Chain A
Amino acid sequence: AQSVTQLDSQVPVFEEAPVELRCNYSSSVSVYLFWYVQYPNQGLQLLLKYLSGSTLVESINGFEAEFNKSQTSFHLRKPSVHISDTAEYFCAVIALEGSTDKLIFGTGTRLQVFP
């Protein structure tokens, strides 16, 4: 079975400061890794994903995440956050076994950006 741990339930940060949202996973098989974002009163949106290849993946709005197999981590980072980044961020995995592609989510991290 797979599980995802997001160590921080809330991360307050000032605008233009760097931020890191932590994600660790547990799985006996290889996984694909995802970060989803949920803005207030909106549905979940894919932010970025790691399937294979380069362990560093980037989103179009300046976020990046690095897959670290030895530490089973997929931390999300941004060097300078904006007020508009305020949202709930969910880390998720899909196990390579099986055919369902069901997402296993962490409990989420609420990023609050202050002016």
Chain B
Amino acid sequence: DTGVSQDPRHKITKRGQNVTFRCDPISEHNRLYWYRQTLGQGPEFLTYFQNEAQLEKSRLLSDRFSAERPKGSFSTLEIQRTEQGDSAMYLCASSFPTTSGGADTQYFGPGTRLTVL
């Protein structure tokens, strides 16, 4: 169990370019979440996968954003035509359903910091 990993850790891009981030969850975690954190704010939910199915998308996720989890393992988050307002830390978390009920603990990766110039 090496924890949730994210790649790259930092990304600097010019406005209008496309970027793609990768998240590798803890193995056997079937639930995967993407959050976005801007300076001075708490993380905000973007989208959620259970296995390969994307079950919920936030209204924050405009049509320039797309997320996939093709085989129910790693996930990618792509931002097309980046804007300066997309600059943020993008966090990935994973969890595994508990048998005792209640909310699963979400384990977070270190994040990808995006800077759009």
Contact = CB atoms under 8 A, between A and B. Distances in A.
A105 B104 contact: no
Nearest to B5: A43
Interface string B75-117: 0000000000000000101010000001111111111000000
Interface residues of A, number: 26
Contacts of A102: 33, 45, 48, 56
A94 to B, nearest CB: 5
A101 B44 contact: no
Contact of B42 (A43, A46, A99, A105): A105
Size bracket of the B interface: 20 to 34
A80 interface: no
B48 A105 contact: no
A105 B43 contact: yes
27 contacts: A4-B42, A6-B42, A32-B103, A43-B4, A43-B91, A43-B111, A44-B91, A44-B93, A46-B105, A49-B103, A51-B102, A90-B43, A99-B55, A100-B55, A101-B48, A101-B95, A101-B104, A101-B106, A102-B33, A102-B48, A102-B56, A103-B33, A103-B35, A103-B106, A104-B45, A105-B42, A108-B42
Interface of B: 4, 31, 33, 35, 40-45, 48, 55-56, 91, 93, 95, 102-111
